[in-house]
Structure 1
Amino acid sequence: MDPRAQDVILCDLCETDPLQYCCEHCDINLCTDCVSKHLSDFSKKHEIAPYHLHKKFTPSYSKCLKHTDEDCKLYCENCDIPVCSTCALFREHKGHDISDVLEKLGSKKQLIQKDLEELENKISPRYKEISSAVQTEKAEVETNYGKLATTADQQGEVWHREVTAIVNKRKADIVETKTKHISVLDKHTDEITHRMTEINQVILEMKNILDTNDISLTSTYKSRNDEFNKLPPTIKVTLPSLSTPTINTEKLNEMFGSLTLLSVTTVGSLLAAPRLTATIDTGYNTLYNVSCLSEDQVWTRGFSKTMKLLNLQNKLLTSIQTKSGNAPEDMAVTRDGDLVYTDYHNKTVNLIKNKKIRTVITLQGWRPCNVCCTASNGLLVTMYSNDLKQSKVVRYSGSTETQTIQFNDKGRSLYSSDYQEKSISENKNLDICVADSEARAVVVVNQSGKLRFRYTGLPSNTKESFTPVGITTDSLSHILTADYHNHHIHILDQDGQFLRYIHCDLERPLGLCVDIRDNLFVAECNTAKVKKIQYL
């Protein structure tokens, strides 16, 4: 057996594509494209044959488990296994699609070759990039945590200096207080000593009087005992004390500062090649919008008063007509699974619950355009003034207006005023993203309405300028917007950096939405089809 039969064999000429044929005379393996090139050499005799018929190719057939004396030379396409002729003609594989096992071997090897090339050239390098990025991040982690430890040491040194200064001040106060205490006692001692000196002097005088018979000296004696019986006051000085309150460790930790909690987020990656997984034919002449109810059910709207709920098998599950009979301007599914739609002509926003329509917002002087539901189960509505000279975004909680977003810090309008598509979506970081088609920009403001960035597409060789229409966001805070005239989707990160395009043979993409598993649904305007695309 040719040992190469166990491996993917490449063409000997181009060394790129898998072989399909061989030249018996020249003993060379050839792909389909290189056969004609090989035959153009008229200096030699050639004999081209399919490789599996090559005389040096001796296939190793597996034995049938039920007919041990027969080789499995056939292949059951239904069951996707090699089978013997008896099983294929008379047993459980009878009536199934049967092919030659060697032909299947060739196609399988082509698939293996394709998978091998994808693994070697696309998938494996991306894993290496990710691994390299992780190693780089680990090095950064070591550096950053080292900086944190240094910061803690520096903070400790500051505290040590402050504590040392406080201790030294307390000790200086103690010395000063002690000096004052001693001074008071010294003064009291001096007073007592002076009295004792006086008493000793009086005692000597009294003894002299007693030792003499001098009448004059005796007659002038005045007793001072009453004076001396008045003892000097006792001075009571209370010793000072140093208060040592119990240290509040919690308060001390708070004063010292704290380390924020470690936050680990698993970030999904974009597929190298987004793939189409389903197509829904909506039956509209023109399709404008799609909104996900679940992974396999979507609401759709076209140039019609009727909104349709369809599944992935093109089955109509239910349909609802607008209250006014006007075509809805936009629609969105709430967190509770209800449907909201805007009616431009009668200036209302309406809620459909249990197939009953209730008007929740009626505007005065303004007309609603696009709508989206927020994480707090409120609504964000883009709208125009009746004279089409102003546009703004208004946030609602129920029927109550809670926020208006219209101007930037310089008082200039954030959005174009012309009556054009202004699809809106709230991102996971609570940014508000608007696809302003007339301004040819994606305008993103934060939760408080402050402008974060404007994305105006990439410089390219496309014939048409960037025209963002539909917009949506996913669980990773990606921003996806439909470029109507250039037939593709732009994927941005939450800071407006372009990541990649999604093509998937799209034609006039308009409305966008994602389901809970981040599958993208695209409403194609002209074909009136919804395409489900996996891109993560």
Structure 2
Amino acid sequence: MSEPSDEQAAMQHYLVCGTEDCQKNGQFYCNACHRPLCEQCRDEHQKSLNTKNHEIVLYRHRKHQLPVELCQDHPTRNKELFCRECSIPICSKCSTMKEHKGHDIDDLEEIYTDKYAVWQGEFSKIQKYFLPTTNSLKADIEEEVTEIKKIMKSFRASIKAEAESLKNLVDEVTSESIENTHTMEKTLLKMLKSQETTYDDYITYLWKMSDEFQEYLSITNKKLLFTKILRIQPIPETTKPVPPVFTAGRFSKNDVTKLLGKVNVPNKKPQKRKIQLMEAESAHMKSTEKQLEQSKEKSDMKPTLSLSSSVTKVREYRVPGVRNVCHVSVEKSGRLWVSDDRGNLVQTDLQGNLLQKIQTSDGYGYHTATQDGDLIYTDNDKKVIYRITPDKKITDFIKTGDWEPISIHSSRITGDILVGMCKGEEAKVTRYNKAGKEIQNIQRDKEGQELYRCPYYITENINGDICTSDILKSKVEVINKSGQHRFSYTGQVSGFWPYGICTDVLGHILVCESDSDTVHLLDQDGGFLSIILSPKQGIDSVCGVCVDDENNLYVGQHETYTVTVYKYLQ
């Protein structure tokens, strides 16, 4: 079958059947022929004698075609068989050779399919268990780093405070001791001064007595020497002062350490970090698995759910209280939240009646409905994320520091909150858990290149991929949940301007393109499937999109205050 032209591809709304000249929806797949089939061609395929035994499944359950590899011994033949004894792939002619006589020969495609499933399972384990668990452990370490730094900072402050207190006490005691030496010195000097005065007085007395003796010795009348009695007073007794003795302090570095306190590492064996076993995953992982299982159950209940051959308009809302429609969020109840570029955020019922209105910072993809029935919206001016409960109570939920939150999405798988942010020339996506705890930052790829410039709109796919519309890069950027770049989508023609973006239960990515007023439909791996909506369906200036639990597509139009609902799955 010839490939459709670009013009034909632009008009298609589904995967084309692989039967020649058939342009219907190829929702089924023949694993034997490796081609998509519409319902009619499937029936004819099963009736044909040549193909009635072929295995036909839903397209999303298809087997991947065996890669072509030529046999080295028989270059005209492909390796299609597998010899279990020799554990090598062989061609059909090799299977008849004596080297493989009596060996168990299996179909290589079956082996490939089984191996592919095993590796897919291992890949799933990496994505669902190993990466989230390791990222959680890493996040714990980051928290512990912050906590250790906080503790050590407080220790340093305490040590400095203790040292300052001790220094003050040392200064006080030193001052008192020095003052005491002055007092003692004054007392001792006063005593010595008094003794010195005593001896001065006594010396004066002796000189007086000496003169008196001299006078008596010089007189002529010697009889006086016999009659006059002269007595010398004894030398006054005084005491020597007892000088103070200085007793040096007896202290060591250990004594000072005891006074100041000491930081010790406890004699305690470190505990190993708790790693959740795969059989007993964390609540976060259990929630993920539960949601995935529910998604599978829904898929099983609707085995024919696929793209319709046409898009059907279901209803249309005229939303009051807004000048235009930039973004749409749908609650489980079916009520709408709609915002414009003037900061008006309104809630309406199923009939389009206004229920509440909030004045916010203007923005685009800045609000999201949660699985718990709340609405979360960002205020990029205040750098705050708010939560609105069903009883209309508004609370501060998350503060984003220096980063401006410009887009937000609540995961239907885990309940995590994905936020697109900007700061100057930088941009990133941050993941928070349901409690508002930051658990992941995505900013650069493996080579250190910036992944984002301005993620205006953000959503999550069923496999955990994070999808953003980056208007400044003119791209849809898709990153897996571990933060690694998967692919970019740049539209079908130059001048691609992506705005609103969402995903559905089949893993399709739907994105608004404002320049051509179209909605593009991509598969889970970024492959372009169709232009699902265009001005031919009567839409004008598409800006915001979302899909509800009933698989209805809501499209908000920027130049009007209209939200139109479509059916595109059957």
TM normalised by structure 2 equals: 0.48
Deviation, 1:485, is: 1.6
Does the alignment pair 1:495 with 2:525?
yes
Equivalent position of 2:38 in the other structure: 126
Give distance in 2, aligned partners of 1:286 and 1:453.
32
Q: How many residues align?
A: 304
- Specify whether residues 381 and 259 from structure 1 end up closer, same or farther in structure 2 by C-alpha distance, changes over 3 A only: closer
Equivalent position of 1:533 in the other structure: 566
Does the alignment pair 1:392 with 2:428?
yes
- For the residue of structure 2 that corresponds to 1:423, the secondary structure is strand
Residues 332 and 340 of structure 1 are in contact (CA less than 8 Å); yes or no, is this contact kept in structure 2? yes
The AA in structure 2 aligned to 1:357 is I
Give distance in 2, aligned partners of 1:150 and 1:468.
48
Equivalent position of 1:438 in the other structure: 472
- Specify whether residues 497 and 141 from structure 1 end up closer, same or farther in structure 2 by C-alpha distance, changes over 3 A only: closer
The AA in structure 2 aligned to 1:127 is E
- Specify whether residues 455 and 426 from structure 1 end up closer, same or farther in structure 2 by C-alpha distance, changes over 3 A only: same
- Specify whether residues 142 and 524 from structure 1 end up closer, same or farther in structure 2 by C-alpha distance, changes over 3 A only: closer
User: Which of 357, 371, 385 is matched with 1:335 structurally?
Assistant: 371
Equivalent position of 1:268 in the other structure: 305
Give distance in 2, aligned partners of 1:409 and 1:278.
45
Which structure has the higher relative contact order (CA within 8 Å, separation 6+)?
2
Deviation, 1:365, is: 1.6
Deviation, 1:458, is: 1.1
- For the residue of structure 2 that corresponds to 1:495, the secondary structure is coil
Does the alignment pair 1:347 with 2:357?
no
Give distance in 1, aligned partners of 2:384 and 2:25.
50
Deviation, 1:267, is: 6.3
Equivalent position of 1:521 in the other structure: 554
Give distance in 1, aligned partners of 2:477 and 2:496.
13
The AA in structure 2 aligned to 1:470 is G
Deviations 1:394-436 (A, max 9, x none): 001122211111111111111125xxx6200010000000111
Equivalent position of 2:451 in the other structure: 414
Equivalent position of 1:471 in the other structure: 501
Deviations 1:45-80 (A, max 9, x none): xxxxxxxxxxxxxxxxxxxxxxxxxxxxxxxxxxxx
User: Which of 441, 449, 468 is matched with 2:483 structurally?
Assistant: 449
Residues 424 and 432 of structure 1 are in contact (CA less than 8 Å); yes or no, is this contact kept in structure 2? yes
- For the residue of structure 2 that corresponds to 1:128, the secondary structure is helix
Equivalent position of 1:138 in the other structure: 55
Deviation, 1:447, is: 0.8
Residues 341 and 371 of structure 1 are in contact (CA less than 8 Å); yes or no, is this contact kept in structure 2? yes
Residues 306 and 319 of structure 1 are in contact (CA less than 8 Å); yes or no, is this contact kept in structure 2? no
- Specify whether residues 259 and 313 from structure 1 end up closer, same or farther in structure 2 by C-alpha distance, changes over 3 A only: closer
Residues 295 and 516 of structure 1 are in contact (CA less than 8 Å); yes or no, is this contact kept in structure 2? no
Residues 25 and 308 of structure 2 are in contact (CA less than 8 Å); yes or no, is this contact kept in structure 1? no
Equivalent position of 2:541 in the other structure: 508
The AA in structure 1 aligned to 2:306 is S
Which moves more between the two structures, 524-533 or 279-288?
279-288
User: Which of 335, 346, 363 is matched with 1:308 structurally?
Assistant: 346
- For the residue of structure 2 that corresponds to 1:471, the secondary structure is strand
- Specify whether residues 259 and 535 from structure 1 end up closer, same or farther in structure 2 by C-alpha distance, changes over 3 A only: closer
Give distance in 2, aligned partners of 1:473 and 1:524.
18
Q: For structure 1, which runs of at least 5 residues remain unmatched after alignment?
A: 1-119, 157-256
Identity %: 29
Deviation, 1:314, is: 2.1
TM normalised by structure 1 equals: 0.51
- Specify whether residues 258 and 489 from structure 1 end up closer, same or farther in structure 2 by C-alpha distance, changes over 3 A only: closer
Deviations 1:248-269 (A, max 9, x none): xxxxxxxxx9996999964632
- Specify whether residues 259 and 373 from structure 1 end up closer, same or farther in structure 2 by C-alpha distance, changes over 3 A only: closer
Residues 320 and 355 of structure 1 are in contact (CA less than 8 Å); yes or no, is this contact kept in structure 2? no
The AA in structure 2 aligned to 1:138 is E
- Specify whether residues 406 and 133 from structure 1 end up closer, same or farther in structure 2 by C-alpha distance, changes over 3 A only: farther
Give distance in 1, aligned partners of 2:337 and 2:545.
12
Equivalent position of 1:285 in the other structure: 323
Residues 385 and 398 of structure 2 are in contact (CA less than 8 Å); yes or no, is this contact kept in structure 1? yes
Give distance in 2, aligned partners of 1:341 and 1:534.
27
Give distance in 2, aligned partners of 1:447 and 1:123.
31
Give distance in 1, aligned partners of 2:436 and 2:388.
14
Give distance in 2, aligned partners of 1:259 and 1:273.
34
- Specify whether residues 153 and 334 from structure 1 end up closer, same or farther in structure 2 by C-alpha distance, changes over 3 A only: farther
CA RMSD of aligned residues (A): 3.5
Give distance in 2, aligned partners of 1:305 and 1:383.
18
Give distance in 1, aligned partners of 2:370 and 2:538.
30
